[in-house]
Structure 1
């Protein structure tokens, strides 16, 4: 098989982590709007300062929940703002994100949870929780299941983690984040499992940093500060993750939707 390659035109620092851009934007571009959230039919901006505060708060909650350096935290959810918030919070807490397709059957989720050694699982809603609860409880390493959408009488995952981490300091979070480097695991991504057991690969922060830099070089018209991107692809897919973190790194505003029936209307509104 023939191969074609070109030399890499940029260097990757050994101490880089994908969470660094959260706090760089907070310091250097506090008014930058990295995300807009669809709330009650309106797109509401989230500034770099607001996002950094949320990432810190959720990272504290993950640490308070026992997430240690290198631990795996799984997300099973459709494409939404909280997915990305959790992703950056997991990195900030020193963990690696395990991405699970929202359509995964219980046996597929069981395999991924066990194969990855997931310690904490976050699902989107009650329907998904009902599908995976039994296999999550049986998985030897999974300590807890949290749900993004709250049920009556309980907190949603973001609110719950924020409350748990309230006693931790920013300095504790910064110290944990500084232990992450380019060689640390950033994610475990699995195939959809249509031809058998889902196949997984571990990607490091180095890999994501390289992809983000290459995306700007390869998509110069899209990865430009001030541009806007509406993301609807599943974030369990590596291409959607690339668009997500590369847009954030290069100051593109991103909105999220998973309802394909209203996609054209959302494009027009966004």
Structure 2
């Protein structure tokens, strides 16, 4: 059966409609696919760090994670956000269970930076897929917080896009980045245009010229890495249009599909201002 990893960005979490949670539950209950949720939490972590006057630095888009920052990241993502998402699914009638990458050594991790300048930022070395398939076979939706652990019990803060990609790779699943925009947008003749598909070369050309920037960069880069390492399909979709997720599951083109090689693309969709 089709496995789908859905990464919920921190910017979309407070905006997702009840219909989103119901649709994901229906996909699972009707066995149209087996979904797995991975979430971020950057904005909420930033807010908590600011309120506690804890330094909040970033290097190349990655949060420098000191012991203090790690404690806050784990508290916010695994304690607050994870349980909020689980509660929303439960209210929508979806049997779900919150996990962090520490539980069952789900996300066995190593440091992402041997120089130490990033602190306790990790990358996933191994995914315990057995724990995920056990939940899915029982009809339970896994909701995962991207905090990992190494063999010695050290916890790591993991970029949510990277964690979702690692899980999708391990399961050879489809990968969907759920955002608050329709996909990768580009301005053409004064109009915003949704790019229905981008290959690796086109992505890096747009990053170089600044058309792809900010939080979209780690998404497209994670998508490319995933496709190289076993992910079947990947797309960036708008969580405010949950029907697009169903269409994607059914093989239709929605959002921006990320590809490794140039293929025949649909005509761009024009979005009004």
TM-score range, shorter chain: under 0.3
Relative to its length, the structure with more helix (as a share) is 1
Question: Normalising to structure 1: TM-score of the pair?
Answer: 0.28
Instruction: Give the TM-score taking structure 2 as reference length.
Output: 0.27
Structure with greater proportional strand content: 2
